[in-house]
Structures are given as C-alpha cells and as structure tokens.
Chain A
Amino acid sequence: MSFFTHRGFRGFALSCIASALLVAGCSKKAEQPAATPSQPAVSYYKVDPGTAATLTGTVYYKGKAPARKLIDITEDPACVEAHKGKAYDESLMVGKGGALENAFIYIKTGLEGKNFETPTETVVIDQQGCWFHPHIFGVQTNQPVKIVNSDPVTHNIHPVAAVNREWNHSQGPGDAPLNRKFPNPEVMIPVKCNIHSWMRSYIGVLDHPYFAVSKADGTFSLPNLPPGTYTVAIWQEKLGTQEQQITIAPQQHATVDFTYKGK
C-alpha cells in the first residue's frame, strides 16, 4: 500500500520540481526552492517543562499464575543449539505478587493535534537463538527500526501489519541488518518468522512518545506528559485490552494501575 503512496509522493515531488523549474524559467525573480514539498516547515509540539506531569502504574494479574510453557524448537536443530537453554513461552509472564510483565501501555486519546518530533535513535530487534529480542516493544511512527540476525540460520521476518505495509524479508547468517520504518500508528503489529513458526514479537507504533512496556515487577512509567485528559490503554497478547480515563493536572505525579483477572 505504501508503495503506491511512496511512488505517488515521488511523482508529486517530481512534478513540483518540474513546475518549479518552469516557473524559474519563465519569471526570473521567483526562486522557489524545489525541495519545499519534501521538507515542509513543521512545528513540533514541545512539552512545557514547567507543567509536565508523570504517569506511572503497575499491571497485575489476579488469579493463579500459569506455569511457564516450554516451546518446542527442535524442528530446527541449529536453533536448539543457538538458543542456549530452554525456550519458554513469553505470552503471559506473571511475577511476584501477580506483577504482569510485557504488557503494552499507551495514551490512546487526548494528544490529538499535537505533532511530536520523530526520535532519531534506532530501535533494534534482534533474532537470536531463533527468538525475537525484545518480545514486545514500541516505536514512534517513522522511527528507524534495525532488524539484526545474530543467528547461524536464515530467518524471514514478517510483520503482519494491517495499517502499515505488510512485508517479509529473508535474512541469512551474517547478512546486513534491515533498516525499516513504520509510517502509521498501529497497535499492535504481530511479527513472525516465516521459517520458525514459534518466533513471535509485537510492535506498537504510535505518533507520540507516550508508551511503555511493563517490566518484570509490573511497573511502567510515562514521563514528561503534558497535563490533560487522556484515555490510557493497555494491550496484553493473551489477555486483551483495557482502557481508563484520567485527567492529569500540571506537574502531577498520577497513577493508573491495571488488573487482568485470570481464568
């Protein structure tokens, strides 16, 4: 889909350059820079440090914590060797006191109209031991994502995107990293390997920086948040989604906890 967008944009840019050239050729004073359409003068939203708030919380799982499941990766003996240790399922990780790890928390509504700058730092997803590292992570739209294969086997990473372009790409042992971007917000994009069926990762793509993954103790933190009224959402791959409304005052240290009931 974005192929067409991309091509359409290129066509548009070219026609703009062409028309700019024409204009320049006809009237000598109009020296419009041809690159204007690809470098729009954008003003990014800046959080006021004087009023910035912080939202923190903990994610809990109530009920009997399920025993961790072993995943059979013996189909590819090279994977068994590369994995170094047992391969445990990461889809439901409950720690001490019911702390739920690997849930994705993000601001779902309340930031509309604010245009946040794209971070330049690269997020790395590594294929190591026939496993995606990390299992759950978030990026901002158009933030650089580097895909690395550290394994002695070939992988074929396949983000099964619905809003963004779905693609898959083969990466052999020692192959150069892939450098990709996800231009549209999408929570979550399941990522699989076309060769190793057990490999799974999920990417949350947002057009703002307010997202987090719960740690082993279930906690998360969304710092530097402008005051306002928000829908805070959580996604967990086995337990689904929840939402809470919260109004946050300037400089407030607000707290939102989430609890999933076990079966």
Chain B
Amino acid sequence: MVWRTELMKNRHLFRCALSVLLSAAVLFSSGCKAAPSEKPIGAPVALHPPLGLPPVPIPPNNPPTKETIALGRRLFYDPRLSKDNTLACSSCHLPTTDFSDTVSLSRGVGTAIGIRNAPTLINTAYLPLQFWDGRAPSLEKQAVIPMENPIEMNQPHELALSKLKQDPTYRRMFREAFGTEDISLGRTENALASFERTILSGNSAFDRFQYGGDKNALTPQQLRGLVVFMTPNKGNCAACHTITPQYALFTDGKFHNLGEGADDEGTFKDLGRFSQTRIEADKGSFKTPTLRNIARTAPYMHDGSLQTLRQVVDFYAGQGNSNPYLDKDMKTIHLTGQDREDLVEFLKSLTGELPPNVGPPGKE
C-alpha cells in the first residue's frame, strides 16, 4: 500500500513538471516570435515646447528618440500605408495647412469620403484621448486606426507591414530605432506617436502677450476679443478652450454638445462620444478641439460644416442648435456684433510657429 501511494505521488509530480515545462516552452517560443521589443533603444530626446505650452507628457515605455522620430516622420508621409498607395497620414493632416485638411470631410481611398473633419495634429500630444469621439486612449493607439478604416486608408495592418518589410530603408530604420529589423505594428505605433509628439506650436502673439510679457503683442481689438473670450456671460469660450496661468492648450480635452450636426428632429446621425460610452448624455458630444493656429485650419467643427471663423463665432452667438443634450455652457453666451468681430480678431492671434523638422523627410 505504502509503495503504491509513493508511486502515484511520483507520477503526479512527474506529470506536473512535464506540463509546466511544456507550457513554458510554448510561451517562450511564441513570445520570441510575435512580440519583438517595442521599446526604443536610442537615447531619449528632450522635447522643448515653445512659449505657452506645458511639458509634453511622455509614456514611460515610449520615450521619443532621434531614431523613432525619424522613423515616425517617414511613416507619416508614406502612402504605402494605404490600400492603393495613394494616401499617407499627411494626405489629410497636411503640413501646409497646419496638419489639418482643407475640405470639410476628408477623402479616403477610392471614392470613400470620411464622416468627420480631419483635426489638426498640432499639440495633440497633450490630449488624454484621441479622435473626435475619444476612442483612442493614446497617440500610440490612435496612430494605426485610420490605416485599417474602410473610409480612410482601408488596408489591413498585416498588408501595410508586409509592404514596409520589403523596403531596406525601413528595415534599417526599425533596427536603429528598436534594435532589430522586425517591423511590427507596436513599433509602428510608437514611432508614429513619437513623431507626432514633436508637432508642437506656440509662441503666438497671444503667448507673447500672456506668457512673454510683451504687452504690445496683441492689437487693441484682439485684446477686447480676449476679454470676450474669457468672460463667462459673453463669449464663455475659455470654459472649454482653456487658458491657465502657466500655459494654454485651448482645450479641456473633454466632450461637449453644441448641437452641431443636430437634424430637424433634434437628433444626431453622428452620435460622437456616445458611440464610445453609450451614455445618453454623450449623444452629439465631440472633443473640444484646440484653437491654436485656428485661422489656418478651416473648415471648422467635427463635420467641417462651418467655413469661416466668423461663421463659427456666429454659431456660438446663436447658442448653437437646441437638442436634449446641449451643453449648459452654451446658454450663457451673449455676444454683440462688436464682440463677435473682436473675437474673430483674437482668434487670429493664436497662430504660432511650427517646428522645422515636421515636413516631409528628405531622400534617405
């Protein structure tokens, strides 16, 4: 009896050891194959935001390096990331119009037309959530979503990566950035995000006035417009397009309903933030966009329906479109004709400089 029990015990131990070994081997081999390290190997580069901006938030596992930024820049301008090799990220986020589009709704591959206006990428590094509806929790996660979207670049990630793998320059750049020639989605995400973190704009006339001590940086009309912008029962703009004593992002990064896109029944074809949260009150809410360089990023609103800054200011002056989910701050807006003219002039003072190395890369 005793002997038999010992044997059974041993057999049980043996089986346990075997299964542990086997599963470890499976884990090890699959781990090696599918997930090359996504951590940049180069020395982290310090990003220097211009006047008026706070330090750039950097995720600990993706510090920007010279190599990842260069790689991300090449990817950003590469049309091979689209199905028919016609559209790059830069096709809708054009560097010539401050990384936004000039049309209301952007064109996708073939005859596809998007449903929303391409937002500027300027200072998008500061936003906690990406996209008009906030469906991406980071720049990394955002970067590759339009590649697969049928109404945008419309190409499966595997196909995009296989195209990149055929290019020796990419194999070299991925090796320089991440240590091996592996071209993976995670590495692509990280490189694109690091490049986008460098698209910073500040040091506008407003910044020089507000943070640079230059009291003559704004015209008297722009100064009046700034007061209208800040005053709660006038423009009330700063309620969402925030300005702090230290810096100004001109966005709270949150979601608000202005009634833009409400139809004749007061309902929304594009439900915006609601599509992510399923919270009734989020219907028709969209992320507050930054106002930096706004004079250069027409048309406006999430659907690109307003063509001029004057139309945008007038839209607010009319308190938007009524609907059951309208943001309460819309009701407090009261703008005279003069206020509206002053506001438009103030908005023109928010145009800042772009960094030198964000345009299309030179031939490598």
**Residues of A that sit less than 8 Å from B by CB:** 3, 6, 75-77, 153-156, 158, 166-170, 172-173, 178-180, 193-195
Contact = CB atoms under 8 A, between A and B. Distances in A.
Contact of B318 (A6, A173, A195): A195
B210 to A, nearest CB: 29
A169 B336 CA distance: 18
A198 to B, nearest CB: 11
Contacts of B259: 169-170
26 contacts: A3-B266, A75-B336, A77-B337, A153-B314, A154-B318, A155-B318, A156-B314, A156-B317, A156-B318, A158-B318, A166-B322, A167-B322, A168-B318, A168-B319, A168-B321, A169-B259, A170-B314, A170-B318, A170-B321, A172-B306, A172-B307, A172-B314, A172-B315, A173-B311, A195-B314, A195-B317
Interface in B294-318: 305-307, 310-311, 314-315, 317-318
Nearest to B313: A154
B167 interface: no
Contacts of B310: 154
Contact of B324 (A3, A77, A169, A193): A3
A236 B279 CA distance: 46
B314 A169 contact: no
A19 B107 CA distance: 45
Contacts of A194: 317-319
Nearest to A171: B318
B337 A76 contact: yes
B214 to A, nearest CB: 31
A170 B262 CA distance: 10
Interface in B301-360: 305-307, 310-311, 314-315, 317-322, 324, 336-338
B264 A179 contact: yes
Given A3-B266, A6-B265, A195-B314, A170 B336 contact: no
Contacts of A77: 337
Contacts of B317: 154, 156, 194-195
Nearest to B267: A3
Contacts of A178: 264
Interface size class of B (residues with CB under 8 A): 20 to 34
Given A172-B306, A178-B264, A179-B264, A75 B318 contact: no
Contacts of A155: 318
Nearest to A76: B337
A166 B315 CA distance: 18
Given A76-B337, A168-B321, A169-B262, 12 more contacts: A75-B337, A154-B317, A156-B314, A156-B318, A166-B322, A168-B319, A168-B320, A168-B322, A169-B259, A169-B322, A172-B307, A193-B318
A172 B264 contact: no
A75 B262 contact: no
Contacts of B311: 154, 172-173
Nearest to B341: A77
A154 B322 CA distance: 16
A173 B259 CA distance: 18
A76 B341 CA distance: 9
B267 to A, nearest CB: 9
Contact of A170 (B266, B320, B337): B320
B141 to A, nearest CB: 34
B62 to A, nearest CB: 42
Contacts of A75: 336-338
Interface string B257-284: 0010010111000000000000000000
Contact of A154 (B264, B265, B314, B324): B314
B311 to A, nearest CB: 5
Contacts of A180: 264
A170 B317 CA distance: 9
In the A-B complex, the 8 residue pairs with the closest CB atoms: A156-B318, A75-B337, A154-B314, A194-B318, A167-B322, A195-B318, A76-B337, A169-B321
Nearest to A168: B322
Interface in B192-231: none
Contacts of A158: 318
Nearest to A75: B337
Contacts of B266: 3, 167
Q: Which of A158, A170, A195 has the most CB of B within 10 A?
A: A170
Contacts of A166: 322
B6 to A, nearest CB: 66
Contacts of A154: 310-311, 314-315, 317-318
Interface string B32-59: 0000000000000000000000000000
Interface in B6-20: none
A180 B266 CA distance: 11
Q: Which of B262, B264, B265, B315 has the most CB of A within 10 A?
A: B264
Q: Which of B259, B266, B311, B337 has the most CB of A within 10 A?
A: B337
Q: Which of B311, B318, B324, B336 has the most CB of A within 10 A?
A: B318
Nearest to A196: B337
